[in-house]
Chains A and B, each alone.
Chain A
Amino acid sequence: MMRNLGTGMRLAIVVAVLTLVLFGMIGRKQWTLSTGRPVVLETQPVDPRSLFRGDYVRLNYTINTLDADQFPLPDVKRGDVVYVTLKKGEPYWQPVGVSVKRPDTDAVVIKGRVKRASKQRYNRQTGKYEKIGRLWVKYGIENYFVPEGKGRALERPAAGEKVSIEVAVDACGNSGIKAVLVNGQPRYVESLF
């Protein structure tokens, strides 16, 4: 059937498919932001620069590191997908469990990918390694692009300012940044256009 298609039709298919792929990227993110349940996460931003992508803030969430003394950790390796159950706390949501399969629960469950798994962790206070397992998990919400030069303001907030992130988590566990909050007030809010 394809053999009979003219160049115009072939070009139309190419343009349609490539455009749909790009719209799909936008739509998937917007779906998460529109339907997801909002959670506020504690973060400590740092500010590297991406040569091709402009300024962005690298966000380091407290839920990025999960310790075995918080709750049991599954036996996973780098690259594995895990589901972290979150519970509302004041003011930030906290992790209460991690599993390799999505738990059957009404609670908010965020999907992440294991960046590193270790059988021990370093205790900064004692300067020693402790035999407590630790997972480093990435959720896909660790980068936030800001207008050039504005990253530093988030990296080094003024005295008394605290940066936190409002994240939407959809039914599948996908997440997206809804807003950057400074002292609980929105500084940057995401919209479709």
Chain B
Amino acid sequence: MLELLILLIILAAMGGMRGRGFTRRLKRELPKWVEAGLVEPEKAPLILDHVAAGSSRHSLATMFGILGAILLGIGAITFFAAHWQGMPKLLKLIVLFGAMWAAFIAAGWAKSGERGWLCESMLLLGVLLFGANIMLIAQIYHIDAHYPDGVMVWALGGLLVAWLLRSPAVFVAGLLLAMLWSGMESIDFSRLHWPFLLVLAGFTVLGVREGWARFAHLLMVALLLWSVSAYVHFVSDYRTAGVVYLTQIFFLVYLGLFIASMHLEISGRFADWAETMRHYAATATLFALWALTFPDLLTAKFYLSGHQTLRPAADAGWLTVTLVMLAIVAALALWHRQRMLRAEGRLEHWLMWGQGILLLVLGCLLVNLFVPGSHGSQMAIAFNAVFFAGSLWLVYAGMHLDSRHLVNLGFMFFALGVLSRYFDFFWKLLDRSFFFMAGGLLLIAVAAVLDQKRRRIMDEMMTGGAA
């Protein structure tokens, strides 16, 4: 519980620092606007000073206010705990409900007095006290239910407060509580926790409605963490033979997210959300594709009735799910192609290359469904080819989209792929000491080449951006 509160402090405080990202982006964009004649040159520094002063004042007050609310919440809980025995039941209830009501009344007073930072703090305090009340009422009335339910009710309370009172700090706290709830259900009770997706959808709708694009990071982290727990859950069900098909399906889901982020970008209204979503989806997609490059996974030796067996071709169940996912991803990609053609009249090179690689990847996934583990090595070669092509395409796409993140990601996965294949091919062939020395040299060489390329690309992007 204490760890959760500390995490809340950090993330809620981060939520408060909303002006920083905007100031940074403004610093980047203002020279272009000046050059385009949209802003007078002498006004640019004034605009920057004004925004920087405002955001710093706002974020500091909010951050300290939130920290204060959390400390107050902790103090209240420990006070109750220390003086619990001396209080009759009725008095305990009056204190518990009274404290929560007082926090919300104070929030209302702060809002009416235009003290936004205090309103945020009091709302967060109210939600913290709601959670404390759940725990303490459970104690007073000996309610020993399925304990993640308490955290679920707490998280839903947070969502309600964030929804009705438009509080970013409570949004962060509520989402963290929902993640904690899902973690408890997944880890402590080993179950696939679908209801979390509903709650996550609620937080996403609220975030989009309020334009809180800065929380896209947290929403994507929540979604990807959930997907990891779902993958672990399925892996324990399907064991060795099905893992490769399961990994293919997860790859397709992440790829679908990546293409969906490109759709969002076209829509314009969600451009801020699209960028963050694209970064996380690209990372997850390449990670899943990287997993599919391992010959051992594609061969999948396992033991059945004491005999070593190789992975059979996909059965009807895997075939159906994978084909449906393939169709969805292909449809998303085709729709994107049409939208781009409608918008710009032609398809740019980076997109054409991307669609070519996408076609190859989908082809590999399709073939792998019908090929048993005995052809795992050949499939590994095919998956490696599309993985390296995909990593390089990401660098290309990053250059076009002016995204350093995608460029770095592409290089990082390219290096990871090289290192993985080095381990695969030479681990058994070379003497151990030679293996590590040669590996070290290879790593330094790859790092030097990639860094040189990366720097050159970054410089080009900077020069291009300035021009």
Q: Contacts A2-B164, A7-B165, A52-B1 given: A25-B134 contact, CB under 8 Å?
A: yes
Q: Does A141 belong to the interface (CB within 8 Å)?
A: yes
The residue of chain B having its C-beta at the shortest distance from the C-beta of A9 within the complex is: B164
Of the candidates B93, B104, B142, B160, which one forms a contact with A145 in the assembled complex, judged by CB atoms under 8 Å apart?
B142
Of the candidates A21, A54, A177, A191, which one forms a contact with B157 in the assembled complex, judged by CB atoms under 8 Å apart?
A21
Q: Does A35 belong to the interface (CB within 8 Å)?
A: no
Q: Contacts A22-B134, A22-B137 given: A190-B157 contact, CB under 8 Å?
A: no
**Chain A nearest CB, measured from B123 CB (Å):** 9
Q: Does B139 belong to the interface (CB within 8 Å)?
A: yes
Question: Contact at A14–B142, with CB atoms within 8 Å?
Answer: no
Question: Contact at B81–A54, with CB atoms within 8 Å?
Answer: yes
Q: Does A131 belong to the interface (CB within 8 Å)?
A: no
For window 376-394 of B, CB contacts with A under 8 Å fall at none
Question: Contact at B160–A144, with CB atoms within 8 Å?
Answer: no
| Chain A neighbourhood of B81, CB < 8 A | 52, 54
Cα(A113)–Cα(B144), bound, Å:
12
Cα(A30)–Cα(B161), bound, Å:
28
| Chain A neighbourhood of B146, CB < 8 A | 113, 140
Cα(A185)–Cα(B145), bound, Å:
27
Interface size on B, residues (CB 8 A): 43
Cα(A147)–Cα(B101), bound, Å:
27
The residue of chain B having its C-beta at the shortest distance from the C-beta of A148 within the complex is: B85
Q: Does A158 belong to the interface (CB within 8 Å)?
A: no
| Chain B neighbourhood of A141, CB < 8 A | 142, 144
For window 106-153 of B, CB contacts with A under 8 Å fall at 107-108, 111-112, 126, 130, 133-135, 137-146, 153
Q: Contacts A29-B143, A113-B146 given: A14-B161 contact, CB under 8 Å?
A: yes
**Chain B nearest CB, measured from A153 CB (Å):** 15
| Chain A neighbourhood of B164, CB < 8 A | 2, 5, 10-11, 13-14
Q: Contacts A7-B112, A7-B165, A21-B153 given: A79-B189 contact, CB under 8 Å?
A: yes
| Chain B neighbourhood of A78, CB < 8 A | 189-190
Q: Does B22 belong to the interface (CB within 8 Å)?
A: no
Question: Contact at B142–A10, with CB atoms within 8 Å?
Answer: no
Q: Does A18 belong to the interface (CB within 8 Å)?
A: yes
Of the candidates B100, B107, B137, B160, which one forms a contact with A26 in the assembled complex, judged by CB atoms under 8 Å apart?
B137
Question: Contact at B97–A19, with CB atoms within 8 Å?
Answer: yes
Of the candidates B105, B108, B130, which one forms a contact with A18 in the assembled complex, judged by CB atoms under 8 Å apart?
B130
Cα(A57)–Cα(B188), bound, Å:
22
| Chain A neighbourhood of B157, CB < 8 A | 17-18, 21
Cα(A116)–Cα(B157), bound, Å:
31
Instruction: Convert A128-153 into 0s and 1s, putting 1 for each residue whose CB lies closer than 8 angstroms to a CB of B.
Output: 00000000000011111101100000
15 further interface pairs, Cβ-Cβ under 8 Å (given A18-B157, A18-B160): A10-B164, A10-B165, A14-B160, A15-B104, A18-B161, A21-B157, A22-B96, A25-B134, A52-B81, A53-B139, A79-B191, A140-B144, A140-B145, A176-B142, A190-B142
Q: List 18 A-B contacts (CB under 8 A).
A: A7-B112, A11-B164, A18-B100, A18-B130, A19-B97, A22-B134, A26-B137, A52-B1, A52-B81, A56-B139, A79-B190, A140-B144, A143-B144, A147-B85, A176-B142, A177-B142, A190-B142, A193-B93
